[in-house]
């Protein structure tokens, strides 16, 4: 009978991180290939702005038919998505940079709002028992909220 193989936690984490790195690299590689091909086809006139909008609408219709999304987004949402894709296809670096800056500002605002909200800290039962002991309370006489 074979002995079971033992793997340390560090080895498992290393394998998982290597896999995540590989997937991230593959994702970036696919994005680059898509951008290159889409730009070439757009410049040749094989893809128009309306083709992008129609394709996004069709994609969402298929997802809705499959039950993967509740409903097809509104036309203004589809156009917004198309604008983002077209910025990359057209290579509009200024618009992309502005959109990234706007997104960063929104994230900072959300982080600031989260920081201003009251926080509830949760202590472990062992810490609560230590606090009871330090305050001179015995078991069952604690005034701490669990």
The whole-angstrom separation of Cα 56 and Cα 73 is 10
Distance between CA atoms of residues 113 and 95, nearest Å: 27
Q: Is the whole-model pTM more than 0.75? A: no
Provide the token pair at 49. Answer: 């702005």
DSSP 1-22: -PPPP---HHHHHHHHHHHHHH
Q: At 115, list the tokens.
A: 């920081």
Q: What is the pLDDT of residue 138?
A: 59
Domain ranges for the chain, please list them. Answer: 11-46, 48-116
CA dihedral 46, 51, 52, 53 (to 10 degrees): 170
Arithmetic mean of pLDDT, 12-40 = 94
What confidence score (pLDDT) does residue 130 get? 81
pLDDT score recorded for residue 124: 79
Give the tens place of pLDDT for each residue, 43-84: 999 999 999 999 999 999 999 999 999 999 999 999 999 999
pLDDT for position 142: 60
Model confidence pLDDT, tens digit, residues 92-145: 999 989 989 999 999 999 999 888 888 777 777 788 778 777 777 655 566 555
What's the pLDDT at 93?
Answer: 92
């Amino acid at each position: 009978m074979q002995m079971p193989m033992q793997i340390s936690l560090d080895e498992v984490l290393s394998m998982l991180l290597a896999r995540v790195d590989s997937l991230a690299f593959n994702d970036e590689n696919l994005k680059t290939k898509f951008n290159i091909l889409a730009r070439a086809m757009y410049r040749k006139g094989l893809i128009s702005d309306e083709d992008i909008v129609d394709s996004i609408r069709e994609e969402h219709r298929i997802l809705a038919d499959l039950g993967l999304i509740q409903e097809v987004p509104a036309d203004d949402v589809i156009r917004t998505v198309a604008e983002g894709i077209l910025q990359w296809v057209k290579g509009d670096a200024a618009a992309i940079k502005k959109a990234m800056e706007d997104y960063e500002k929104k994230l900072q605002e959300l982080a600031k709002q989260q920081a201003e909200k009251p926080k509830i800290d949760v202590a472990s039962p062992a810490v609560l028992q230590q606090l009871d002991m330090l305050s001179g309370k015995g078991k069952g006489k604690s005034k701490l909220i669990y």
